Amino acid sequence: MAWRGVHITQAARLSLADGQIVVSREDGDVRLPIEDVAWMVIDTPQVSLSTALLSACMDAGMVIITTDRTHTPSGIILPFHRHHRQADIAAMQVGISAPLKKRIWQMIVVAKIANQAAALELIGQDATALRAMIHLVGSGDPENVEARAARDYWPRLFNAFIRDDANDKRNALLNYGYAVVRSAVARALVAAGLLPTFGVKHASVTNAFNLADDIVEPFRPFIDCAVWTLTDRGRTGQGATTVDERRTLVSLLTEETRLAGETVTLLLATERVAGSLVRAMELASVPLLLLPKLER
């Protein structure tokens, strides 16, 4: 089972040999069993990749993330049509009822706000208001409690912070971490036979990953906590992201969470969440959906 990630930040040639990823650099080669790697982030333009390796990565179910010149994740290479019930599950997915979609979204929002509250408590902030909002989330979140929670959450997490400020380093780090986890979620959805395009809440006609954007929501506070630590308790908003900071965010998929009373990595959590979503959709039973829990 794939369990590790690869973060490429220096000039290299990537190729395939004997079922292994070969990373060739001036100082020598590094080999990694392809079946061990779940995700790869190519965080430099100075990398060449053989088509044989690319094909093998897709056969292995790996997700590959590319970045632009500012080191912002800009693309995903994802395997498709690998599940033995692909057509059956896809047909079921696109045919689920609107009420079921709304109840699933309600559960996702509740889990997200609960994890945001736990994140605040972990850093010593009061989360009473957020905890109270959990009980206000209705089916489909018609009152947009998710947005109300965000307005209470961000000022408590980060000092003098505007979420859409492109010049704030904290936003750059958040977006990097979110992109990595979103990619892992997309990988898990595809492996479970689901189509990432068709979401339960997100429904943009230009977004190929609407369902991934739904499911990633409860995972976001895990990234938020990491960025809070990386930016001097949320106070540093200046400067460019560093390789070490980005590497920390990439490695978060190996960190632990609680899922259905069990301790698992975030990577394994994405896979189990995707599988539980299939079961919840097939049986029209929202309680079957498993979502990660950030513990205080």
Of 77, 102, 132, the domain-final residue: 77
Q: Report the alpha-carbon distance of residue 198 to residue 203 in Å, rounded.
A: 7
Classify residue 217: in a domain, yes or no. yes
The verdict on residue 113 lying in a domain is yes
The pLDDT mean for the chain works out to: 95
148 & 263 share domain: yes
The pTM of the whole model exceeds 0.85: yes
Contact 14, 6 (CB under 8 A): no
Instruction: Report pLDDT digits (tens) over 13-53.
Output: 999 999 999 999 999 999 999 999 999 999 999 999 999 99
Same domain, 32 and 109: no
Q: What CATH number did the domain enclosing 251 receive?
A: 1.20.120.920
Judge if 275 and 166 occupy the same domain: yes
How many CB atoms are located within 10 Å of the residue 250 CB?
Answer: 22
- Give the structural domain span for 138: 86-288
Same domain, 135 and 187: yes
Q: Provide the token pair at 112.
A: 């997200």
Which one of 77, 97, 132 terminates a domain?
Answer: 77
Task: For residues 266-278, give the mean pLDDT.
Answer: 97
Same domain, 91 and 52: no
pLDDT tens figures, 239-258: 899 999 999 999 999 999 99
Q: CA torsion 194→60→69→205, rounded to 10°?
A: -20
Kindly state whether residues 65 and 91 are assigned to the same domain.
no
**Domain containing 46 — which CATH number?**
3.100.10.20
Q: Total domain count for the chain?
A: 2
Q: What pLDDT digit, counting tens, does each position of 157-202 carry? A: 999 999 989 899 999 999 999 999 999 999 999 999 999 999 999 9
pLDDT band at 81 (very low <50, low <70, confident <90, very high): low
Q: Which pair of tokens denotes residue 139?
A: 């089916």
In a domain, 295, yes or no: no
Same domain, 198 and 266: yes
State whether 48 and 116 are in the same domain. Answer: no
